[in-house]
Amino acid sequence: MAKDHWTSDRYDSAASFVPKLTSKVISYLDVQPNDRILDIGCGDGVLTTQIAQSATSGKVLGLDASESFISTARDKYGSPNCNFQHLDCTKLDQCPEAVDGSWDKVFSNAAMHWILRKPDIRSSFFQNVNKALKSGGTFVFEMGGSGNVAEVQAAATAALIHAGVPLEKAREANPWFFPSAEHMSALLSDAGFEVQVCEHEYRATKLTAETVDKSGGLEGWVKLMCAQFLEVVEEGKRDAAAKEICDVLEEIITRHEDGSKWLGYTRLRAIAKKR
């Protein structure tokens, strides 16, 4: 299993805004009281719990590859209709309960761009989601879309090359998959879904103490989110590479008219029905 970069404290400090910008995808999920919902890549369980509070007589199961997240989710949010399980979500079929065809809805927010990084697991991932759902069940998700945080990808790739990492290795270290709506629609159709909505939105996000790093600055965000990039840099050069990423980003993301800082998030959102 891949190294666990996440701890709830670091995530809460650098990215606690992620579950808060979710009104659209939650409206697409349209939770009903009886719903049985599988949440893929549930993180520390904040949003999973909110969903479970609407599925009052149903059931919600949150899955995540980070033991740290699952342990926090269980301690803070477990309830009779909301459970959490540690699972590498590229291998949903290793959890029989997940793929038993009993779920009304499968949901995912801001996780699939990490989960789907490796091209060879994508088609089995979507087939397993399809298998998880009841006939006519719905897969609703939001993730980074094409062009997401392009400035971060460019700054991190350049910093790795400056630290002596070959381009191909820098490319492989990129931990994200940010597909276009067209490509995602094709992946879903191939796995047996009828795609009802697949939309791409540019959602520049203003960095504030809340959206980027409660302790101030970009450093915490870069060290957490770009950990897999930085891991391939020689240890003695790692801090300098992180600093270069921050310095370049500060320059690019700052609006000169008022000094505000914006990251170029794009969102890919979909509603797909099991055929």
- DSSP for 238-269 reads HHHHHHHHHHHHHHHHB-TTT--BEE--EEEE
- Euclidean distance between CA atoms 7 and 11, whole angstroms: 6
Cβ at position 151, least distance to ligand BEZ in Å: 11
| C-alpha of 49 from chain center | 17
| 272 binds ligand BEZ, rule: CB under 6 A | no
Dihedral angle at the C-alpha atoms of 232, 17, 262, 240, nearest 10 degrees?
-30
Binding residues for ligand BEZ restricted to 56-95, rule: CB under 6 A: none
Considering the complex, state which of residue 83 and residue 109 has its C-beta at the smaller distance from ligand BEZ: 109
Considering the complex, state which of residue 110 and residue 115 has its C-beta at the smaller distance from ligand BEZ: 110
| 110 binds ligand BEZ, rule: CB under 6 A | yes
Burial class (CB in 10 A: 0-12, 13-18, 19+), 259: exposed
| One residue of 46, 144, 249, 271 binding ligand BEZ per CB under 6 A | 144
Considering the complex, state which of residue 103 and residue 177 has its C-beta at the smaller distance from ligand BEZ: 177
Cβ at position 107, least distance to ligand BEZ in Å: 15
Cβ at position 227, least distance to ligand BEZ in Å: 10
Contact 174, 241 (CB under 8 A): no
| 176 binds ligand BEZ, rule: CB under 6 A | yes
Distance between start and end Cα atoms, the chain: 32
Considering the complex, state which of residue 32 and residue 205 has its C-beta at the smaller distance from ligand BEZ: 205
Binding mask 222-241 for ligand BEZ (x = CB under 6 A): ---x----------------
User: Which of 1-9, 55-63, 89-97, 143-151 is the region at the interface with ligand BEZ (rule: CB under 6 A)?
Assistant: 143-151
Cβ at position 176, least distance to ligand BEZ in Å: 6
- Please report, for residues 14, 26, 260, the alpha-carbon distance to residue 206 in angstroms, rounded to integers and kept in the order given: 14, 21, 7
- Euclidean distance between CA atoms 250 and 222, whole angstroms: 11
Cβ at position 11, least distance to ligand BEZ in Å: 10
Strand ranges inside the chain, DSSP E: 36-40, 59-64, 82-86, 103-109, 133-144, 193-202, 205-206, 262-263, 266-274
In the numeric block, which tokens belong to residue 212? 């980027």
User: Which of 29-37, 98-106, 126-134, 142-150 is the region at the interface with ligand BEZ (rule: CB under 6 A)?
Assistant: 142-150
Considering the complex, state which of residue 178 and residue 193 has its C-beta at the smaller distance from ligand BEZ: 178
| 41 binds ligand BEZ, rule: CB under 6 A | no
| 170 binds ligand BEZ, rule: CB under 6 A | no
Q: 259: alpha, beta or left, given left = phi > 0 and alpha = psi -120 to 50?
A: left
- Please report, for residues 74, 84, 89, 272, the alpha-carbon distance to residue 133 in angstroms, rounded to integers and kept in the order given: 24, 18, 15, 11
Cβ at position 175, least distance to ligand BEZ in Å: 8
| One residue of 49, 122, 265, 270 binding ligand BEZ per CB under 6 A | 265
In the numeric block, which tokens belong to residue 225? 């989110």
| 149 binds ligand BEZ, rule: CB under 6 A | yes
Q: Which residues bind ligand BEZ (CB under 6 A)?
A: 18, 110, 113, 144, 148-149, 176, 225, 265
